[in-house]
Structure 1
Amino acid sequence: MRIDAHHHVWTLARGDYRWLTPDLAPIYRDFDLSDLAPHLSAGGIEGTILVQAAPTEAETRFLLDLAEHAEIVRGVVGWTDFDAADGIARIADMAARELLVGLRPMVQDIDDDDWLLGPGLAPVLAEMAAHVLVFDALVLPRHLPRLLRVVDRHPNLQFVLDHCGKPRLASGDIAEWRRDIARLAERPNLVCKVSGLATEAARDWRAEDLREAVGHVRACFGPRRMLWGSDWPVVNLAGGYAKWLAAAQTLLPDLSPEERDAVFGGNAARIYLSKRGRRIS
């Protein structure tokens, strides 16, 4: 099965997408699964992982309700308040929803760069591991050394690094990112989501502009620990779904059929769905 391991939907009237402002004109409107369907059909994609885009539990419930009536959505990565006094209970409650497969704090938007290292996070992450939930790490390059420490502290928790850790492709300043990616890849409980690179590249990017980053991720993680995701509709800011999918395929030209199946679907099924017994076929 081909799986898009990372996409969003949103309804502006909900009012909880504070980052989504009119200056982001190509994506400043409602997007739902009917908008996504033509892209999935063109790409031969049979399942998706729907990911939160607002730091509210209300949005996560909205996504879960939507997913329960959409066969194409195989799992939801949601959000909860990791800092809440009843954080453990919140996770246990949310984990009861069949299609919840992971949680994603929006670390890139948190003012405290050391938030990942806070002592209060440990019991919450342990609760996630107990419920076989995935921790999606939405971080910037400066967070990678901190993420490494968290991954080491929680060897029983599965981590997914979103958007390859957002290397600064537009500026070309990726030396430290390369170092930290290599270190993270040594940890067996972390995999890398090949998504979001188009929006980190220069305007009017070409596939060649992404080659070094994709090549480094492949060399470090290998095809069995890479998941392809569209980051739709955010990718509409940088060329769109079809351009990014074509680029990813171009930049991974020599995969065996088994490796290609893994990167473009099998790994997402294994990481997000199989361990929790979620629907795959």
Structure 2
Amino acid sequence: MLIDTHLHLVDRDQLSYPWLADVPALDRDWTYDSYETVARRIGISGALHMEVDVHEDSIGQETEMVGQLMNRPGSLIKGAIASGRPESPDFAAYLDSLDRKTVKGLRRVLHVVPDDLSQARLFRKNIRRLASKSLPFDICMLQRQLPLAAALVDAAPDVVFVLDHCGVPEMTTDSFADWKNKITELSKRPNLNIKISGIVAYTGGDFTLERLRPYVEYAIGAFGWNRVVWGSDSPVCTLGGANLETWVASTYALTLGCSADERTAFFSENARRIWQLD
């Protein structure tokens, strides 16, 4: 069983995505029906929808869209990692308003905002509120920002965090050692997990298994099999020349040597525990 913890769907008729205008390769609809057809063929048994940085006015509608998809008979969608604005004084009320049947976690994309946003007192106070709601927080930061990620995790020790995309390594530059050191430091925090998701998008299109292997193997080795989850980052993974099928195949190839228990933890059980999935 394979649970996809990082699926993006795009419906431009329903929602507003300002950033898509700057990424022509992704600027179209990416539907659940198309995803489901491929996902069932390749063994994906469930998926969490990851917020797509919609316009702030569309956040509620995006969550409602995911809820509607969940209610389809036999749906693969198990919940939403919804968008949130922890920098807002209205964040506590927002948390109280969430449909918890749909929302399993939250994310605020942090590489598109000033670096100091996540270090602000109000932001950290609001992130700490997630502990009482049993809501994990996905951290989406660039490699250069990873010390900020460490500071945020330290500021909320009772919150469960997930680091997206192996910390978005700078794979087109000679900076593996820097990434490795930052991942080593982050792995010391027991409330932080790491997501092996769509790193093909950062290869600059030069995509091979051997290009990915050092990052995948080091991330898993640093965090251990009980703190690692898998995600497709579909359709963003296509930016690196890999479709959903190719990324799944690559994942299987990169984990051939693991045990049955390790595979189960990585592919499904850790996700079930972190996001409290049925």
Please give the TM-score of this superposition, normalised by the length of structure 2: 0.92
Q: Is the 8 A contact 1:49 1:75 kept in 2?
A: yes
Partner of 2:42 in structure 1? 43
- Aligned mates of 1:182, 1:223 — CA distance in 2: 15
Residues of 1 paired with 2:27 and 2:124: CA distance?
A: 36
Q: Which residue of 2 aligns with 1:154?
A: 156
Match of 1:109 among 100, 107, 112: 112
Unpaired runs of at least 5, structure 2: none
Deviation at 1:15, TM superposition (A): 5.0
Shift in Å, 1:122: 2.3
Note the 1:184-199 alignment, pairs <5 A.
184-199=186-201
1:271 pairs, out of 266, 271, 274, with 274
Question: In the alignment, does 2:83 pair up with 1:79?
Answer: yes
Deviations 1:98-149 (A, max 9, x none): 1211110010111x11211100112211221110001000111122101111
Aligned-CA RMSD value: 1.6
**Corresponding position of 1:125:** 127
Distance in 2 separating the partners of 1:22 and 1:109: 13
- The correspondence of residues 159-174 of structure 1 with structure 2, limited to 5 A, is 159-174=161-176
Alignment deviations for residues 44-69 of structure 1 (CA, whole Å, 9 cap, x no partner): 11111111002432323333333343
Contact kept, 8 Å, 1:88 with 1:123, in 2: the verdict is no
By how many angstroms is 1:32 displaced? Answer: 1.6
What SS does structure 2 have at the residue aligned with 1:53?
coil
Read off the aligned partner of 1:10 and give its amino acid letter: V
In structure 2, relative to structure 1, the CA distance for the partners of 1:223 and 1:53 (3 Å cut) is same
Q: CA, structure 1 residues 218+118, in 2 after alignment: closer, same or farther (shift >3 Å)? A: same
1:88 matched to 2:92? The reply is yes
**Higher RCO structure, 1 or 2 (CA under 8 Å, sep 6+):** 1
Q: Structure 2: which amino acid aligns with 1:158? A: V
* Distance in 2, Cα, partners of 1:68 & 1:105: 25
Aligned residues: 272
**1:1-281 alignment runs, 5 A limit:** 1-21=1-21, 23-25=23-25, 27-55=26-54, 56=56, 57-58=59-60, 59-69=62-72, 71-94=75-98, 96-110=99-113, 112-238=114-240, 239-273=242-276, 278=277, 280=278
CA distance in 1: counterparts of 2:42 and 2:53, whole angstroms? 27
Residues 67 and 76, structure 1, Cα contact 8 Å, conserved in 2: no
Percentage identity across paired residues of the two chains: 31
Q: Which moved more, 1:7-16 or 1:134-143?
A: 7-16
Structure-2 separation of matches of 1:214 and 1:224? 15
Is the contact made by 2:136 and 2:161 (CA closer than 8 Å) also made in structure 1?
A: yes
CA distance in structure 2 between the partners assigned to 1:11 and 1:78 by the alignment: 16
1:185 Cα deviation after fit: 0.6
Local SS of the residue matching 1:231? coil
- Moved runs in structure 1, 4+ residues, more than 4 A? none
CA contact (8 A) 1:2 1:45 kept: yes
C-alpha distance in 1, partners of 2:171/2:37? Answer: 29
Q: What is the identity, as a one-letter code, of the residue corresponding to 1:208? A: E
Deviations 1:227-274 (A, max 9, x none): 11101111222221111111111112211011101111111111112x
What's the TM-score once normalised by structure 1's chain length? 0.91
Q: Provide, for residues 189-208 of structure 1, a one-character-per-residue CA deviation record: whole Å limited to 9, x for no partner.
A: 01000002100013141111
Task: Give the drift of 1:22.
Answer: 6.8
**SS in structure 1 at match of 2:193:** strand
